[in-house]
């Protein structure tokens, strides 16, 4: 028998049998897809910022919120503020933002068992330690509620993070900045934890990347007072003032750019420089958002499964 093209299985006309197999295939596909949907139904993301009482500063957190919802459109996102003082002040104004514990309670109520918590702190210092302790305490008190409780590290924990953040911040500087214009970044800092050490490196890394970019901190060892004489040597220069914090909140608007005589802007003016405040939080910079997203994705710190490490 001669096999003609018409006998090739590929050219069979539609038959009830083929239609049946077609249906089976479609059904299998639907089951597969819904299986994936079911698998992600127990997933959740908790985003933890220090928080801010200033509505104007919310743009940075909104930008982070959008970045996460775009990247994880099917996963519920819950916010928490780690600062008790910020949450208390907001509550007095009738705005309720969950604490870390309350956000985890919400996950449990909503049946989320595979939860990724992302810290929006800059360094793994005081605030981040408190977040980590709060999560550990929660799983100790509620040992069976999560299959996984992943903790995404803060912005700067590796040299790779530093390179990416520096590149993102430098690329985001004002396009009309002239060759003699300085930039002064305001970090937070404090001496209760390793934050000051990290920020000392940040200062050096920026300065190496661009010798006209400086950094000082509101609290802790990398002080503005110590830096001022160096900046004063550039008398007459324009100096852009930017927060090196996730939001441009109270510190940026008052301590950095405020009209009071002791703000950095006033003291630079006093020293003969021309300060130009630029109130943009790190959370608004896409390259910074990417570092946080990477930390959320790549974390291996599962606080619900720490037995192996002990
Ligand atoms: Co502060």
Compute the distance from residue 187 Cα to the ligand 1 centre, in Å.
10
Give dist(CA 282, CA 280) in Å, integer.
7
Per-residue tens of pLDDT for the chain, all 310 residues: 333 333 333 333 445 555 555 555 655 555 444 444 444 679 999 999 999 999 999 999 999 999 999 999 999 999 999 999 999 999 999 999 999 999 999 999 999 999 999 999 999 999 999 999 999 999 999 999 999 999 999 999 999 999 999 999 999 999 999 999 999 999 999 988 899 999 999 999 999 999 999 999 999 999 999 999 999 999 999 999 999 999 999 999 999 999 999 999 999 999 999 999 999 999 999 999 999 999 999 999 999 997 655 5
**Phi-psi domain of 226 (left: phi exceeds 0; alpha: psi -120 through 50; beta: other):** alpha
Say what the pLDDT of residue 306 is: 78
- DSSP E strands in the chain: the ranges are 43-49, 77-81, 114-119, 148-152, 182-187, 213-217, 238-243, 274-277
- Strands 182-187 and 148-152 turn out to be unpaired
Compute the distance from residue 61 Cα to the ligand 1 centre, in Å.
17
Specify the pTM: 0.86
Say what the pLDDT of residue 40 is: 67
CA distances from 176 to 181, 235, 256, 268 (A): 10, 20, 21, 21
Compute the distance from residue 256 Cα to the ligand 1 centre, in Å.
12
Say what the pLDDT of residue 143 is: 93
Active site residue 295: no
Compute the distance from residue 180 Cα to the ligand 1 centre, in Å.
31
Say what the pLDDT of residue 16 is: 53
In 30-59, which positions are buried (b, 16+ CB within 10 angstroms) versus exposed (e)? eeeeeeeeeeebbbbbbbbbbbbbeeebeb
Say what the pLDDT of residue 138 is: 98
Compute the distance from residue 263 Cα to the ligand 1 centre, in Å.
14
Compute the distance from residue 217 Cα to the ligand 1 centre, in Å.
10
| 3-class SS of residue 151 | strand
Choice among 121, 148, 188, 251 that is catalytic: 188
């Amino acid at each position: 028998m001669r096999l003609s093209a018409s006998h090739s299985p590929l050219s069979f006309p539609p038959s009830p049998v083929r239609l049946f197999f077609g249906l089976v295939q479609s059904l299998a596909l639907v089951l597969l897809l819904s299986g994936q949907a079911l698998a992600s139904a127990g997933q959740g993301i908790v985003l933890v910022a220090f928080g801010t009482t200033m509505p104007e500063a919310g743009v940075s957190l909104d930008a982070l919120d959008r970045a996460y919802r775009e990247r994880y459109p099917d996963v519920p996102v819950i916010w928490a503020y780690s600062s008790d003082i910020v949450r208390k002040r907001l509550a007095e104004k009738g705005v309720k933002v969950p604490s870390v514990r309350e956000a985890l309670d919400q996950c449990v109520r909503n049946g989320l068992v595979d939860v990724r918590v992302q810290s929006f702190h800059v360094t793994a210092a005081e605030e981040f330690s408190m977040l980590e302790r709060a999560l550990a305490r929660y799983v100790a008190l509620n040992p069976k509620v999560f299959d996984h409780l992943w903790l995404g590290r803060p912005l700067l924990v590796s040299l790779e993070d530093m390179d990416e953040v520096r590149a993102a911040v430098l690329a985001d500087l004002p396009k009309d900045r002239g060759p003699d214009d300085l930039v002064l970044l305001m970090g937070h800092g404090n001496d209760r934890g390793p934050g000051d050490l990290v920020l000392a490196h940040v200062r050096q890394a920026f300065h190496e990347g661009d010798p006209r970019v400086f950094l000082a901190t509101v609290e802790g060892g990398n002080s503005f007072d110590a830096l001022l004489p160096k900046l004063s040597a550039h008398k007459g220069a324009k100096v852009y003032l930017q927060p090196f914090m996730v939001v441009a909140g109270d510190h940026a608007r008052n301590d950095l750019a405020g009209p009071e005589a002791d703000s950095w802007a006033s003291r630079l003016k006093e020293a003969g420089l021309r300060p130009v405040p630029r109130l943009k939080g790190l959370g608004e910079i896409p390259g910074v958002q990417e570092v946080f997203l990477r930390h959320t994705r790549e974390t291996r710190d599962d606080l619900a499964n720490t037995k192996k490490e002990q």
